[in-house]
Amino acid sequence: MIDVENVTVTFDDVTAVRDVDLRVDTGEFVTVIGPSGCGKTTLLRTIGGLQDPTNGRVLIAGRDPVASQSDANLGFVFQQHTLFPWKTALQNVTFLRKMAGKSPRPGRARELLEAVGLEGSEHLYPSELSGGMKQRVAIVRALHLDADVLLMDEPFGELDEITRDRLSVELREIWRQERKTILFVTHSVPEAVLLADRCLLFDGPPGRLVASFDIDLPRPRDERVFESPAFQRQVAAVRSALYGTRTEPASRTD
Amino acid sequence: MVGPRDDDSVEWSATRIEDVLPPIVAVVVLVGGWALFTAFASVPSFLLPSPIAVAGRLAGNPELYATNALATLERVVYGGAIGIVGGFALAVAVTFVRPLRYAVLPYIVTVRVLPKIAIAPALLIYFGTGRTTSLIFVAAIAFFPTALSTIAGLERVDRRYADLLRSVDANPIRTFYAVELRFALPDIVSGLKQSVTLAVVGAVVAEWVVVDDGLGALVLVASENLLTDVMLAALVILLVEGLALYGLVVLLERRLLWYASAESD
């Protein structure tokens, strides 16, 4: 579904991403973990067609990302909710679909909002919603595009840990039910492990892929996964690769 | 170039009686003190007439004040509208057409420093006296704040929202309307406030230099003839007119920007 071939992105004389090759299969949930400023966001923007690669190319369903933009086949969720303050939750959800040139489906928008526990909050404005609720609306907004691919750039980065864990479990469930292909960028190791079928380790600058982990955890996943030894082992493995050390305690704080 | 998003207005909205009372008491004390002072001190009335004399002038010849107030109002509204619409149009044009931006923006910023009042005599030479000249003058004065604030506001648009709409290949004109313009609105309204205030200044100066009606002309003629009570009466009407126009913009602001005070992040 997503093919990244030998992509390099250079700004003036700074290389943000160097020689990245990666592939995300249809229906796969892949996370990209790496330290802040390592070029993850640039990679995601390049995949989404918001940034042109200096070298190499990106294909989404075999075509240029710009073609996917035209078909509204890409749903972005950013770290900041980017909801319009003068629109209600429901209006925010339907507005993007309208701007994408797709026929309105207000009933479906309500359904999706209900599915993430926002029934009764459809007509609230962003200023009346909590941080977690705002990100739920942003996710629903992307889902409502009926895009096959979701590109998520640290969408839970500004949330507290409890909300973040809860939303991670919810997102996994949404992914399972809606059958999306998701590429999810994060700097939280537990989040990267919990969400992923496959977790890619990114380092930089310049950003490059250094390792890939197949995450072998029960599916579907719920909060109990956090306590399982398998989860702790995976987190420890990713973390030790990340820090380049052997024995990093598998604590859940970072 | 242009300062941060704020104007110098101090927000003051009173809802409780103990908040409303002090300013009322203050104005009563002030006018009362003025009345007592003129009654007991031997000040010639051409220097300081009593408030009763001023009120008497207003009541004695309401048509005089109404006619002139209307003349000033017309000048402010028409001239101001031309300047504001022109300033807005220029701001949109320079936002879309980059070469135009580089061609005109430095000069707009430069000319902004010039006190516009100083061009009134020049306009008199080129356009002569009369209504058209006064409108040109008011428009020229109202033009700059709206133009510069709108340019600044359109610059300030959050790139992340533009990215969001680009990611679905949204129509640029609809994006401009739904995002750029909406995010620029606080700046546009702040420019509008300054434009309206300056349009009143422009109208008064025009009435001193290029036309002979309106409240500005009345103030001038009254002061030249030492009719101080007439002059003060005209100033009171001018104040009311200016407040009403400014109030309209504030109402517009409340209607359009209701979410600005509610949004915390």
Inter-chain contacts counted by CB atoms under 8 A, chains A and B: 64
Q: Which amino acid is at B213?
A: D
Nearest-CA residue of chain A relative to B182? A86
Nearest-angstrom CA–CA distance, B204 and A150: 60
A254 pLDDT band, cuts 50/70/90, is very low
Give the one of B158, B168, B263 whose C-beta lies nearest to A69's C-beta: B168
Nearest to B168 among A72, A80, A85 (CB): A72
B179: nearest CA in chain A? A84
A145 touches chain B (CB under 8 A): yes
Q: Which residue has the tokens 């020049």?
A: B122
- Is residue B261 very low, low, confident or very high in pLDDT (cuts 50, 70, 90)? low
Residue B32 has what pLDDT? 93
**pLDDT for A225:** 81
| Average pLDDT score over chain A | 84
Environment class of B62 (CB within 10 Å of its CB; exposed 0-12, middle 13-18, buried 19+) = exposed
Beta strand pairing status for A55-60 and A2-11?
antiparallel
**Does A226 reside within a domain?**
yes
Least CA distance to B161: which residue of chain A?
A82
Alpha-helical runs (H) found in chain A: 40-47, 65-70, 89-99, 106-115, 131-143, 161-178, 189-195, 229-243
Q: Quick check: is A229 in a domain? A: yes
Mean pLDDT of the region B58-73: 94
pLDDT at B211 over 80: yes
Binary contact (B160, A84; C-beta < 8 A): no
Nearest residue to A242 via CA among A29, A81, A25, A35: A35
Three-class secondary structure of residue B92 per DSSP: helix
Contact A1, A28 (CB under 8 A): yes
pLDDT at residue number A248: 42
Q: Is the CB of residue B202 less than 8 Å from the CB of residue B18?
A: no
pLDDT at A246: 40
How far away is chain A from the Cα of B7, in angstroms, using its nearest Cα? 22
Closest chain B C-alpha to A85 CA, distance in angstroms: 7
Q: Which chain A residue's Cα is nearest to B159?
A: A82
With helix as H, strand as E and coil as C, how does B196-210 read?
A: HHHHHHHHHHHHHHC
Domain ranges for chain B: 57-256
Mean residue pLDDT across chain B: 88
Residues 6+ apart with CB under 8 A from B130: B210, B211
Query: For residue B151, which of B202, B97, B82 has the smallest C-alpha distance?
Result: B97
Mean pLDDT throughout A199-227? 81
Which amino acid, residue A9? V
Calpha distance A121→A128 (Å, rounded): 9
- Residues of A whose CB is below 8 A from B263: 85, 126-127
Q: Do A125 and B259 touch (CB under 8 A)?
A: yes
Asked whether residue A60 is assigned to any structural domain, the reply reads yes
ipTM: 0.83
- Residues A136-165 pLDDT 10s: 899 889 889 888 889 999 888 888 888 888
Range of the domain at A152: 2-73+147-243
Encode burial over A29-55: b for 16+ CB neighbours within 10 A, e otherwise. bbbbbbeeebbbbbbbbbbbbbbebee
* Residue A153 belongs to some domain of the structure: yes
Q: Which residues of A touch B166 (CB under 8 A)?
A: 50, 69
In 3D space, the residue among B142, B253, B164, B116 whose CA is nearest the CA of residue A92 turns out to be B164
The predicted-structure confidence for B230-256, as pLDDT tens digits, reads as follows 999 999 999 999 999 999 999 999 888
Residue A40 lies in a domain: yes
Residues of chain A contacting B167 with CB distance shorter than 8 Å? 48-50, 69, 74-76
Across the interface, whether the CB atoms of A99 and B160 are under 8 A apart is answered no
Mean pLDDT across the stretch A196-206? 84
CATH number for the domain harbouring residue A233: 3.40.50.300
Total count of domains within chain A: 1
Inspect the interface and report whether the beta carbons of B164 and A49 lie closer than 8 Å.
no
Give the DSSP letter of residue A86.
Answer: T
CB atoms within 10 A of CB A127: 16
Q: How confident is the model at residue B195 (pLDDT cuts 50, 70, 90)?
A: very high
Report which secondary-structure segment, H or E, holds B227.
Answer: none
Confidence (pLDDT) at A251 = 46
Inside any domain, residue A233: yes
CB contact burial B100-117 (16+ within 10 A = b; e otherwise): ebeeebeebeeeeeeebb
Looking at per-residue pLDDT, the higher value among A108 and B81 belongs to B81
- Whether A102 maps to a domain, the answer reads no
Q: Which residues of B touch A82 (CB under 8 A)?
A: 158, 160-161, 164
DSSP string, A171-236: HHHHHHHHT-EEEEEES-HHHHHHH-SEEEEEETTTBEEEEEEE----SS--GGGGG-HHHHHHHH
Assess if CATH 1.10.3720.10 describes domain B57-256.
yes
